[in-house]
Amino acid sequence: MIKKDSSAKSVFSACGLSSKMLARIARETGFSKRAGGKISAADFLAHFSAESIEGTVSGNDIAATLHAATGVSVSRQACWERIDDQCLSFFKAVLEKLIHLRVTSEGWMTCPKYKRILIQDSTIIQLPAKLYKSFSGVRNATSTTCHARIQGVYDLCAGRFTQFSIDPYFKNDLSVAADIQVSEGDLLLRDRGYFVLSVISMHKANGVDTISRYKHKTMLHDAQTQEKIDLLDLLTRDGTVDMMVMAGENKELNVRLLAVPVPEEVANLRRMKAKKETKGHAPSSELLALMSWSIFLVTVPDSIITIKHVMAIYGLRWRIENIFKTWKSYFNFSRVHQVSENHLRILLTARLIMISICFHNAYVPLFNAIKHRTQQHLSLIKFMRYVCQNPSQLPTLVAQRLWSNSLLKAIARYCAYDKRKRSTFVDNLLAVFEDLSDIASSLA
């Protein structure tokens, strides 16, 4: 018999999900009907999830992996039959548990003004054309492409995801703008894709601040005179703007309008992108002219938070783009073979489970440890590349009791930012938090 290998299960155990807890979740979701089966729920989950980042996991793949790891022989048909609705419910419940488990009392960064700074965004992955009926995509007379849209909500302060969803392509960002789970004391950074005045108003009433990019043709009125604002005329005349306005046809939302000119090369790049992404009609001359400014609608009432602060805070939103880059580069989100819709959802959920473990249980604690030890900052991209190139290290990386001085030294050597003149994301984040600390002190 092959020697049993518990390393895959040990990853989940180190994350606070013991085999006993996983067995309970499996029973609650209907994945396990009885105790004492050949393959435990914990083994199936652990090895399916580990295999998922290599590509599509077939019944044969999981049967072979389980036999190699546990010494227990199980047929590929038996494994295939486990990939059902109950399996998806089990994996979803585990992902939800991982998201809400507190790994450490120490967060990634501490923001002095807000409990959380949340970024919501989506990324598109291409799927086999056979899934078009379930996920939609783009179809014309000669070809059909199928896509899924994965939504993620990321907390900059904790360095972790708070929500995921796997949606059809047609379910765009606008349609899920109200789905984000927020609480009083949060700051939400949103691009135009999520711009819904009623949602911004609802969040404002619940003590949640929003910094949102202005969406073209949103009606604005001067809060003092109540006269309609010709935005292009206002910006052309004044250049930089910071004023209270009433947004919407019914003047339903009082917000600050903030705008600042951008360098002409930036404006031209925006125009080139807008023309390239045109779908059926060219951008209007007014829209192209407005691209000479960065324009925001902000519910933060404190005038001490200037357009410079808003630009710096909103610039942090780029973090989620880097995160999506790691997904596609190192977690094989582009590798999906001919599978059923249910199998696809299980596969993607398994990858999100591994991503959550790598972010929440490895990157954040190691970032804190190495920062305390060497004053260096771990690069997210370098670290995720290291993990995916050295998967056998993951059980050690998530188990803080196993960290040795030599491991921390190696992680710092291979995964920390290089010394360079231009600032890193962490430098920018720390600078923003320092500014917010000064603002919080002045308002106290």
pTM for the structure as a whole? 0.90
Is residue 95 in some structural domain? yes
Is residue 70 in some structural domain? yes
Is residue 27 in some structural domain? yes
Please say whether the beta carbons of 260 and 267 come within 8 A: no
Q: What are phi and psi of 374, to 5 degrees?
A: -125, -5
Report the C-alpha gap between 289 and 268 in whole angstroms.
10
The pLDDT, as a whole number, for residue 103 is 57
Burial of 126 (0-12, 13-18, 19+ CB in 10 A): middle
Domain boundary among 53, 73, 100: 100
Is residue 322 in some structural domain? no
SS3 letters across 295-316: EEEECCCCCCCCHHHHHHHHHH
Q: Which of 362, 339, 192 is nearest to 200 (CA)?
A: 192
Distance of CA 169 to the CA centre of its chain: 17
The pLDDT, as a whole number, for residue 110 is 80
Is residue 13 in some structural domain? yes
Report the C-alpha gap between 22 and 43 in whole angstroms.
10
Is residue 289 in some structural domain? yes
Range 399-406, long-range pairs (CB < 8 A, 24+ positions): 399/10, 399/14, 400/365, 400/369, 403/366, 403/369
pLDDT tens for each residue of 236-294: 999 999 999 999 998 889 999 999 999 999 999 999 988 887 766 788 999 999 999 99
- What is the domain extent for residue 34? 7-100
Is residue 235 in some structural domain? yes
pLDDT tens for each residue of 291-338: 999 999 999 887 788 999 999 999 999 999 999 999 988 888 877 878
Strand 186-190 relative to strand 209-213, pairing: parallel
The pLDDT, as a whole number, for residue 276 is 83
Beta bridge partners of 123: 150
Q: Which of 188, 314, 290, 288 is nearest to 241 (CA)?
A: 290
Task: Give the count of domains, the chain.
Answer: 2
Domain boundary among 274, 305, 336: 305
Q: Please tell me whether residue 260 adopts helix, strand or coil conformation.
A: strand
Is residue 437 in some structural domain? no
Please say whether the beta carbons of 4 and 65 come within 8 A: no
Burial of 372 (0-12, 13-18, 19+ CB in 10 A): exposed
Name every residue whose Cβ is closer than 8 Å to that of residue 121 and which is 6 or more positions away in sequence.
151, 152, 154, 173, 191, 317, 320, 321, 324
The pLDDT, as a whole number, for residue 438 is 83
Ranges of residues in the chain whose predicted pLDDT is under 70:
1-7, 35-37, 102-107, 279-280, 444
Domain boundary among 52, 74, 100: 100
